[in-house]
Structure 1
């Protein structure tokens, strides 16, 4: 990973710690209190052992000290538990907040952006990558503070007793972070590749799972199984690479910590034997002070060792933050929320309109047209002409340049919730939820049973629902797999008709239907369009009326517009389409 990008991501991660509230500070405070209790415990233990060994003092003389030692043991355990709990709570708050921000961002970007990536990759971002930030905030960040405070506290306690021991601690301490950095230099890249492999595997598996019937039909199931196996094997290799780095980092830290403690033990051993005579302040090296320093020595290196253990958490967090940062902070063009009230007229006017993608590419335009309130409009054109992009812009899911007004007010300035309340939307791929028929139709609206049955009758699906074992309470399977495409479309139509909006947006509603289902759906739509403005994307000319207004799009441009009866007599693509259909 580029170093400048890594620094930017680390800075972004640190900026998010305010979300954790006081829990990070509480975790550090409890760890510092634990360190003070450790120093006191080591001092008491060294003093008691020195008196017992050298002076032969009976144990009964040290009962107060022993009672304090016994009290410090559960106290330190409680402090350690509190520190872990506070760190976990800090990470939990962060993960909840980030997942909420990701969902809010995706809601603002809209379906057009979400469909640009595989469903599995979004699941990976929301679950796996956000989850990998837990240890960074719960352990790594508090440990960074403890690395400075705890060794300093121990040095302050050791230096007045023996400056040589203090120098050994001070001189050997930098070896651990030095080699930790050297070992961890490749950890960030390894974790980035690990997350990329996970995202590819999740997206690949989800897409193949959803298309399993098609794969079997074309005898590609075995080949795709091999592809998933290869992707899984790649992910296994990436995972093992990360684990190797983590184990190597721990081994290096343990080695240098052991060497440093061994130096102290050798120094005190030779000093007590009389072979070394320096480091003390004139009174010689005493057994009590030697025991005290040796008891504290492992704890002096422990924060550094724990930081090394959690260093891979930093690498994981940086790798996970790359995708999250680009989503949450990236320069993606999102329609800005407006606050203007909805005008009485829903007349639509576009002037030099350019519909843009979220990454700034022009999908349609420039185009100019006007749609009167209550007008029936059909949008024609080949695939890729920009028809769906235009509807996505009207839905507020895509940003635009130029002018797109509703009743004389710019769409971007309107209160989007009030605007969408006026829209009745039906696509060629209806999404049914895993809930009851009633909930799928009502979508949270306070509708009575009679109103729901009326909507089902209007959508020509009531007879089917009456035949279900539980009627309106029948739970539909995931993605509406328990009903046919035509039935799903008609249920979605009933849901759309439940709204009170005045603008009907239809994206090829009959594209995936059989002849009978298409006829029923189109008949219902014709009734629903009475008194409303209708924008219909269609490839079928036989569904049009002579008085329909036609917008013909091709290659991102508006090539023809006007009444169908007029365009049928003029030279142009609409007349050629009508001639081709008559020839068939």
Structure 2
């Protein structure tokens, strides 16, 4: 990974640590107290052994020392537990806030942006990549501070009693951070590639799982299984590369720490044999001095070794942060206005152009009007820009030109307030894992009577009343347990609960059989009386009831008017109608042939 990019990601990660609250500082505080308690234990042990072995004092003189050692052991255990709890809470608060920020950003960017990636990739970001930030905030960041504090405190305690031992500690300490930096150069890049492979695998697997029936019907199951096997193998290899680096670096860090302690032990050994005579300020080196320094020596390197161990948490977090930062910093077409809609909802577009989130032109320029009680149909070939127009109206895509709602520019309106005036129904309604009551109320305080009334309007009440659970009938993931028609009518009941002034419909009956289509269409007709409607549809034969039809082709409005007017004049609409009639005649002919057989 480029060093500039790595520094940028590291800086971004550190800026997020305020989400950890005071728990991060609390973890450091408990770590410092643990270090101080350890130094006190080292002093007590060295004092006891000096007194008993060298000074030949009775053991009874050290009863208080033994009780103090026992007490410090208990205190250290309590401090270690408190530090772990504080560290975990710091990471947990960060993860919770990060997931909230990701979900808020995705809601702000809207479905047009989300559809640019497979669902599995988003799941990887929200779950695995946010989860992998835990150790960076819970362990690495506190350990960086402790790796500076604890060795410094130990040096302050060692130098006054033996400057040579202090110099050995001071000289050998940089070996561990230096090696950490060398390893870290490749670790962050390895983790980044590992996350990319995981996101690809998750997205690929989820997409193929959703389309399993199609793959089976086209005899492509074995081929896709080989593709998933190859992606899994790539992910395995990258994971093993990261683990190899982690194990190698841990082993080398332990080696350097062991060598440094051995140098210190050799110095004291030769000093006791009178082969070395320096470092003791003119006073002979006592057993207390050697024991005190040698007990502290492993603890001097331990914070640095722990930081080396947790340095992989930094590399892991940098790998995860790349996509998180790109998502959270992605520019969004957020309407900054705070104006509210006053009066009836009317739409006026003039020289309107709609763009994708990356700046590509999708539609326009177009000009049209929708009155407060007018029903307008939008038709055209696939890819003409119909759905892009709806996404612009919903506030999901950026636009230029003029798009006024009740006389106020859409960019000046508060989106939440604008969407409260809308009822949306698409061809593939999203019902959530929960009950029928949950899916209709959507967090609003609706009584059971009100929900039953909405179900009756949507002509789905009979189905609900037939279920033993009633409104508590469970809806599984991907609307399991319901037919397409039942799902659509429950979604219709949810849309009716909005009490909207404008209905925005995107192929609301495209996936329904003729009976379900008639039921949904009848309910919509009744619900939309006196209210505005903008509907995208391919069903041209039912447009005679619409007040106006807009025909879009190649991003522009090529025709507009009433159904009767468009049928009588040559153009795109008449051509589409003729093609639809030809398809219908072919279907009827096929059905008759099947009947003859």
Q: If the TM-score is normalised by the length of the shorter chain, which range does it land in?
A: over 0.9
Other-structure match for 1:339: 338
Confirm or deny: 8 A CA contact 1:109 1:334 kept in the other structure: yes
- Work out the number of aligned pairs and report it: 583
Where does 1:514-525 land on structure 2 (aligned, <5 Å)?
Answer: 514-525=513-524
Partners of 1:117 and 1:270 lie apart in 2 by: 67
Q: CA deviation at 1:449?
A: 4.3
1:47 lines up with 2:70 in the alignment: no
Shift of 1:500: 1.2
Distance 1:406 1:202 in 2: 41
Question: 1:481-518 CA distances to partner (integer Å, 9 max, x unpaired)?
Answer: 21211221122122222221121111011211222222
**Structure-2 residue corresponding to 1:502:** 501
| TM-aligned CA deviation for residue 229 of structure 1 | 2.2
Find the residue that maps to 2:433 and give its secondary structure: coil
Deviates more, 1:105-114 or 1:5-14: 105-114
Deviation at residue 445 of structure 1 after TM alignment: 4.1
Corresponding position of 1:233: 233
- The answer to whether the 8 A contact 1:568-1:575 is kept is yes
Q: What is the CA distance between 1:345 and its match in structure 2?
A: 2.4
Give the 3 Å change call, closer, same or farther, for CA 143–446 of structure 1 in structure 2.
closer
Matched with 1:380 is 379
Provide the rounded CA distance (Å) in 1 between the counterparts of 2:546 and 2:510: 23
Q: Distance in 2 between matches of 1:277 and 1:338?
A: 79
Number of the residue aligned with 2:285: 285
Task: Please list, as runs of the form range in 1=range in 2, the aligned pairs for 1:175-254 lying within 5 A after superposition.
Answer: 175-254=175-254
Task: State whether residues 376 and 546 of structure 2, in contact with CA within 8 Å, keep that contact through their aligned partners in structure 1.
Answer: no
Whole-angstrom CA distance in 1 between matches of 2:450 and 2:274: 99
What CA deviation, in whole Å up to 9, does each residue of 1:175-220 have, x standing for no partner? 1111111122110011011111111121122212222222222222
Residues 1:419 and 2:429 aligned together: no
Q: What SS does structure 2 have at the residue aligned with 1:186?
A: helix
Q: Deviations over 1:380-439 (max 9, x none)?
A: 111111111111111122222222111110112223223212211110001122222233
Aligned to 1:22: 22
Q: Secondary structure at the match of 1:200?
A: helix
Q: Distance in 1 between matches of 2:579 and 2:99?
A: 52
1:17-416 → structure 2 map (5 Å cutoff): 17-330=17-330, 332-416=331-415
- Structure-1 separation of matches of 2:441 and 2:287: 81
Contact 2:551 2:573 in 1 (8 A): yes
Shift of 1:130: 0.8
Q: Which whole-Å CA distance do the structure 2 matches of 1:76 and 1:201 have between them?
A: 44
- Calculate the TM-score normalised by the size of structure 2: 0.94
Q: 1:576, CA displacement in angstroms?
A: 2.2
**Is contact 2:344-2:501 (8 Å) kept?**
no
Q: Secondary structure at the match of 1:543?
A: helix
Structure 2: runs of 5 or more not aligned: 586-597
SS where residue 427 of structure 2 aligns? coil
Q: Alpha carbons of 1:293 and 1:356: their partners in 2 closer, same or farther (altered >3 Å)?
A: same
Q: 1:26 to 1:454 in 2, by over 3 A?
A: closer
- Aligned 8 A contact 2:13 2:321 in 1: yes
Instruction: Check the 8 A contact 2:198/2:235 in 1, yes or no.
Output: yes
Name whichever of 29-38 and 543-552 sits farther off: 543-552
Secondary structure at the counterpart of residue 52 of structure 2: helix
CA distance in 1 between partners of 2:34 and 2:448 (Å):
63
Q: Name the counterpart of 2:588.
A: none
- Matched residues in 1 for 2:437 and 2:20: separation? 41
Distance 1:129 1:144 in 2: 22
Alpha carbons 1:486, 1:517 under 8 Å: kept: yes
Does the 8 A contact of 2:28 with 2:145 survive in 1? Answer: yes
CA distance in 1, matches of 2:105, 2:8: 21
State how far apart, in whole Å, the 2-side matches of 1:28 and 1:581 are: 71
Q: Deviations over 1:272-297 (max 9, x none)?
A: 10111112211122221111111111
User: Matched residues in 2 for 1:581 and 1:169: separation?
Assistant: 85
Residue in 2 that maps onto 1:472: 471
Counterpart Cα distance in 2 of 1:335 and 1:381: 29
**8 A Cα contact 2:42 2:295, kept in partner:** yes
What is the CA–CA distance in structure 2 between the aligned matches of 1:171 and 1:438, rounded to whole Å?
Answer: 69
**Contact 1:121–1:203, Cα closer than 8 Å, also in 2:** yes
Which stretch shifts more, 209-218 or 379-388?
209-218
Runs of 4+ in 1 over 6 A off after TM superposition: none
Contact preservation (8 Å) 2:335, 2:413: no
Measure how far apart 1:338 and its partner are: 2.8
The Cα RMSD (Å) is 1.8
Question: Shift of the alpha carbon at 1:325?
Answer: 0.7
Q: 5+ residue gaps in structure 1?
A: none
For 2:35 and 2:189, locate their aligned partners in 1 and report how far apart those are by CA, in whole Å. Answer: 35
1:530 and 2:532 are equivalent in the alignment: no
- Closer/same/farther in 2, CA of residues 293 and 424 from structure 1, 3 Å limit: same
Deviation at 1:448, TM superposition (A): 4.3
Higher mean C-alpha deviation, range 555-564 or range 22-31: 555-564
